[in-house]
Structure 1
């Protein structure tokens, strides 16, 4: 009986050792599996985690590139606008210069006696009762005109033709219009002939100016009389 019991104990001990060895092997296997899962799973997690970063980097690079392109487009657009404005300014300057030149040319055509030689003025004493002397300048020219088409002489104050008559009178006498009193403007024996009686405000000297219309060129003085008395004042 004792011998049989000893044999059972040995068998039981072997079984126990066998179970322990199996358990140890299972534990080791679990350790290996868990460890491998952690190692390989962590790598995948890291790779997965890094992927958005790469994507974010690509997006940031793309956004930066797009911004640079946009800034470049803005820069080009601003340069083009600047060039357009410069060209427009240059064209405006040229137009202004042309207008000034044209205005200067017109003023040359409409100059008063200022640019002419006074020594050429032909002065004669007169036998007429109210005429002190008669003056004629060989270089008197038409003063220019804004009128077009068939000319009709006007004696209505404020009309273009009337104003051009006064300008011609100022040209012939040398009296500035601001210093001139116009007493009378009338016809002189024809539709294209006129005469005006004026005085200078500062000297009160009366003059009668004879005018002749030149087609396309305006009124031209032909003769100036210095009067003894203003016969249009009464």
Structure 2
């Protein structure tokens, strides 16, 4: 009986040892699985973490490229706008120059007329008066028409302020050398024909009276033909 019991105890110990060995093996297997999971899982995270900056750098590079392209595009647009503005300014300048040139032609301010204003006084022919109220008579061989803005058939006007009236005053100033600002106009009248006039004026400072004879030249305006210095103002 004691021997039988001893056999049972030995068998029981073997079974127990076998179970323990299985459990230990299971535990070791679990440790290996868990360890492998941790190792391989951590490597994946590291790779993801490592790749993240690369993706960020790629995005930054794309953003920088896009920004540069936009700046280049803006510069191109700006240069085109500047070029258009310069072209417009040049066209406006050309238009202004042409307008001024046309106005000068209409005013009789061409080079020929500008030269005619600068007269050589030594050429002035001065004679004694040919009338009771005439101190002296003056004629300059280089007198020319002063120019006109009028077009079409000319009609002499004696309306103060009209274009024809103003051009008569301009011719009087040209012939006498009296600036319009220092001139008093007493009378402008016809002189024996529709294209002839004469004006009686005095200077504001010396009060010296003059009578100026004018002849109309088609397309060129009024031209002085004779100036008389009077002894007294007979239109006062």
What RMSD in Å do the two structures reach over aligned CA positions? Answer: 2.3
**Aligned-residue offset at 1:52:** 4.8
Identify unmatched segments of 5+ residues in structure 1: none
Does structure 1 conserve the Cα–Cα contact (< 8 Å) formed by 2:116 and 2:144? no
Does structure 2 conserve the Cα–Cα contact (< 8 Å) formed by 1:112 and 1:171? no
* 1:104-183 matched pairs, under 5 angstroms: 106=109, 108-111=111-114, 114-183=117-186
Work out whether 1:10 is the aligned partner of 2:10.
yes
Q: Which residue of 2 aligns with 1:80?
A: 80
Equivalent residue of 1:170, what SS?
Answer: helix
**Aligned-residue offset at 1:200:** 0.8
Question: 2-side partners of 1:112 and 1:73: how far apart?
Answer: 56
Does structure 2 conserve the Cα–Cα contact (< 8 Å) formed by 1:111 and 1:171? no
Question: 1-side partners of 2:182 and 2:13: how far apart?
Answer: 149
Change (3 A) 1:127 1:100: closer
**Aligned-residue offset at 1:127:** 3.0
Change (3 A) 1:206 1:219: same
Change (3 A) 1:62 1:12: same
Q: Which residue of 1 aligns with 2:217?
A: 214
Q: Which stretch shows the higher mean deviation, 179-188 or 60-69?
A: 60-69
Identify unmatched segments of 5+ residues in structure 2: none
- Cα deviation per residue 1:126-152 (whole Å; 9 max; x = unaligned)? 231111111111100000011111111
Q: Which stretch shows the higher mean deviation, 75-84 or 179-188?
A: 75-84
Question: 1-side partners of 2:75 and 2:114: how far apart?
Answer: 53
Question: 2-side partners of 1:173 and 1:32: how far apart?
Answer: 127
Equivalent residue of 2:165, what SS?
Answer: helix
Q: Which residue of 2 aligns with 1:60?
A: 60
> How many residues are aligned here?
233
Question: 2-side partners of 1:189 and 1:45: how far apart?
Answer: 118
When the two structures are superposed, what TM-score results if normalisation uses the length of structure 2? 0.89
Question: 1-side partners of 2:100 and 2:220: how far apart?
Answer: 21
Equivalent residue of 1:24, what SS?
Answer: helix
- Cα deviation per residue 1:20-71 (whole Å; 9 max; x = unaligned)? 1101100110011111111222223334445554433332222111111111
When the two structures are superposed, what TM-score results if normalisation uses the length of structure 1? 0.89
Does structure 2 conserve the Cα–Cα contact (< 8 Å) formed by 1:188 and 1:194? yes
Question: 2-side partners of 1:208 and 1:232: how far apart?
Answer: 10
